[in-house]
Amino acid sequence: FAVTAFEADPAWAPLYEQPCCRFHASCDVKLIRAGIGARMRANESMSLQWLSNDGHSIGRSGRAAPDAMHTVEIRSVSLVHWLTRHVRHEDWVVCKMDIENVEHQVLPELLAVPSTLRLIDELFVECHHRESYGVGPHYYSECLSMYERLMAEGVWVHDYF
Protein backbone atom coordinates (compact mmCIF):
# COMPACT_ATOMS: atom_id res chain seq x y z
CA PHE A 1 0.00 0.00 0.00
CA ALA A 2 0.99 3.62 -0.30
CA VAL A 3 0.74 6.39 2.28
CA THR A 4 0.57 10.06 1.34
CA ALA A 5 0.78 12.38 4.32
CA PHE A 6 0.12 16.10 4.24
CA GLU A 7 2.03 17.40 7.25
CA ALA A 8 2.91 21.05 7.65
CA ASP A 9 4.34 20.60 11.14
CA PRO A 10 8.08 19.79 10.98
CA ALA A 11 7.88 18.25 14.46
CA TRP A 12 5.75 15.38 13.11
CA ALA A 13 7.67 14.79 9.85
CA PRO A 14 9.92 12.02 11.30
CA LEU A 15 6.84 9.86 11.90
CA TYR A 16 6.42 9.51 8.13
CA GLU A 17 10.01 8.56 7.34
CA GLN A 18 11.05 4.97 6.76
CA PRO A 19 10.92 2.62 8.62
CA CYS A 20 7.50 3.83 9.78
CA CYS A 21 6.09 0.91 7.84
CA ARG A 22 8.78 -1.54 8.91
CA PHE A 23 6.19 -4.30 9.33
CA HIS A 24 4.84 -3.74 5.81
CA ALA A 25 7.60 -4.24 3.29
CA SER A 26 5.47 -2.97 0.43
CA CYS A 27 4.60 0.33 2.13
CA ASP A 28 5.58 3.44 0.18
CA VAL A 29 5.43 6.70 2.16
CA LYS A 30 5.29 10.10 0.48
CA LEU A 31 5.37 13.15 2.74
CA ILE A 32 4.00 16.41 1.37
CA ARG A 33 5.13 19.27 3.59
CA ALA A 34 1.92 21.26 3.46
CA GLY A 35 -1.41 21.56 5.18
CA ILE A 36 -4.81 21.01 3.62
CA GLY A 37 -6.77 24.13 2.67
CA ALA A 38 -10.05 24.89 0.96
CA ARG A 39 -11.33 27.01 -1.91
CA MET A 40 -8.12 26.85 -3.88
CA ARG A 41 -7.38 26.44 -7.56
CA ALA A 42 -5.17 23.73 -9.00
CA ASN A 43 -1.44 24.38 -8.55
CA GLU A 44 -2.16 27.18 -6.07
CA SER A 45 -0.72 27.44 -2.61
CA MET A 46 -1.45 29.86 0.17
CA SER A 47 -0.40 30.63 3.70
CA LEU A 48 -2.59 29.73 6.62
CA GLN A 49 -2.15 30.81 10.19
CA TRP A 50 -1.78 27.89 12.58
CA LEU A 51 -1.23 28.18 16.30
CA SER A 52 1.97 27.03 17.91
CA ASN A 53 2.11 26.33 21.62
CA ASP A 54 5.85 25.93 21.96
CA GLY A 55 7.40 27.65 18.95
CA HIS A 56 8.21 24.28 17.32
CA SER A 57 4.99 22.34 16.92
CA ILE A 58 1.94 23.83 15.19
CA GLY A 59 -1.75 23.17 15.58
CA ARG A 60 -1.58 22.05 19.20
CA SER A 61 -2.66 25.20 21.01
CA GLY A 62 -6.00 25.80 22.65
CA ARG A 63 -5.72 29.54 22.09
CA ALA A 64 -8.82 31.14 20.64
CA ALA A 65 -6.99 33.69 18.47
CA PRO A 66 -3.60 33.78 16.77
CA ASP A 67 -0.93 36.04 18.18
CA ALA A 68 2.58 36.97 17.01
CA MET A 69 4.33 34.54 19.38
CA HIS A 70 2.15 31.52 18.63
CA THR A 71 1.50 31.81 14.89
CA VAL A 72 3.39 30.32 11.95
CA GLU A 73 2.65 30.37 8.23
CA ILE A 74 2.32 27.10 6.35
CA ARG A 75 1.95 26.12 2.71
CA SER A 76 -1.44 24.66 1.90
CA VAL A 77 -2.81 22.53 -0.93
CA SER A 78 -6.36 21.77 -2.05
CA LEU A 79 -7.51 18.25 -1.18
CA VAL A 80 -10.10 18.39 -3.99
CA HIS A 81 -7.44 19.13 -6.62
CA TRP A 82 -4.92 16.67 -5.15
CA LEU A 83 -7.46 13.82 -5.14
CA THR A 84 -8.52 14.61 -8.70
CA ARG A 85 -4.93 14.43 -9.94
CA HIS A 86 -3.60 11.49 -7.93
CA VAL A 87 -6.43 9.06 -7.19
CA ARG A 88 -8.47 6.77 -9.44
CA HIS A 89 -11.97 5.53 -8.63
CA GLU A 90 -10.72 1.94 -8.51
CA ASP A 91 -8.22 2.82 -5.73
CA TRP A 92 -9.21 2.08 -2.13
CA VAL A 93 -8.62 5.34 -0.24
CA VAL A 94 -8.63 5.68 3.53
CA CYS A 95 -8.23 9.24 4.77
CA LYS A 96 -7.35 10.30 8.31
CA MET A 97 -8.15 13.98 8.77
CA ASP A 98 -7.00 15.99 11.77
CA ILE A 99 -6.63 19.47 10.31
CA GLU A 100 -7.37 21.69 13.30
CA ASN A 101 -10.83 23.12 12.47
CA VAL A 102 -10.15 23.44 8.73
CA GLU A 103 -12.35 20.35 8.21
CA HIS A 104 -15.32 22.74 8.40
CA GLN A 105 -14.07 24.27 5.13
CA VAL A 106 -12.55 21.24 3.38
CA LEU A 107 -15.39 18.76 3.86
CA PRO A 108 -18.14 21.08 2.51
CA GLU A 109 -15.86 21.76 -0.47
CA LEU A 110 -15.58 18.00 -1.07
CA LEU A 111 -19.36 17.60 -0.68
CA ALA A 112 -19.82 20.18 -3.44
CA VAL A 113 -17.92 17.89 -5.85
CA PRO A 114 -19.46 14.42 -5.30
CA SER A 115 -17.38 12.70 -7.99
CA THR A 116 -14.20 13.78 -6.20
CA LEU A 117 -15.59 13.06 -2.73
CA ARG A 118 -16.36 9.49 -3.83
CA LEU A 119 -12.65 8.94 -4.41
CA ILE A 120 -12.47 8.57 -0.61
CA ASP A 121 -13.81 5.24 0.65
CA GLU A 122 -13.26 5.66 4.39
CA LEU A 123 -12.77 8.89 6.32
CA PHE A 124 -11.50 9.10 9.88
CA VAL A 125 -12.05 12.69 10.94
CA GLU A 126 -11.45 14.68 14.09
CA CYS A 127 -14.19 17.29 13.86
CA HIS A 128 -13.39 20.25 16.11
CA HIS A 129 -16.31 21.82 17.97
CA ARG A 130 -17.19 23.82 21.07
CA GLU A 131 -18.47 20.98 23.23
CA SER A 132 -15.34 18.79 23.27
CA TYR A 133 -12.55 21.12 22.21
CA GLY A 134 -13.78 24.55 23.31
CA VAL A 135 -13.00 25.69 19.78
CA GLY A 136 -15.76 27.55 17.96
CA PRO A 137 -17.65 28.62 16.15
CA HIS A 138 -18.87 25.10 15.29
CA TYR A 139 -20.99 22.75 17.38
CA TYR A 140 -20.98 18.95 17.51
CA SER A 141 -24.41 18.91 15.84
CA GLU A 142 -22.74 20.50 12.78
CA CYS A 143 -20.18 17.69 12.75
CA LEU A 144 -22.94 15.08 12.90
CA SER A 145 -24.81 16.79 10.06
CA MET A 146 -21.64 16.83 7.97
CA TYR A 147 -21.06 13.11 8.71
CA GLU A 148 -24.62 12.30 7.59
CA ARG A 149 -24.10 14.17 4.32
CA LEU A 150 -20.78 12.40 3.71
CA MET A 151 -22.28 8.96 4.39
CA ALA A 152 -25.24 9.75 2.11
CA GLU A 153 -22.66 10.30 -0.65
CA GLY A 154 -21.10 6.89 -0.02
CA VAL A 155 -18.16 7.71 2.27
CA TRP A 156 -17.77 5.56 5.37
CA VAL A 157 -17.14 8.09 8.19
CA HIS A 158 -15.48 7.42 11.55
CA ASP A 159 -15.47 10.16 14.19
CA TYR A 160 -12.58 10.26 16.62
CA PHE A 161 -11.42 12.64 19.31
Taking only the tens of pLDDT, the chain with its 161 residues reads 788 888 877 777 777 776 655 555 567 778 887 778 776 555 555 555 555 555 555 554 444 455 666 566 667 788 999 999 999 999 999 999 988 788 999 999 999 999 999 999 999 999 989 888 777 789 999 999 999 999 999 999 998 76
Q: Residue type at 117?
A: L
pTM of the model: 0.78
Confirm if 155 and 125 have CB atoms less than 8 A apart: no
Going by C-beta distance under 8 Å and a sequence separation of 6 or more, which residues neighbour residue 142? 104, 129
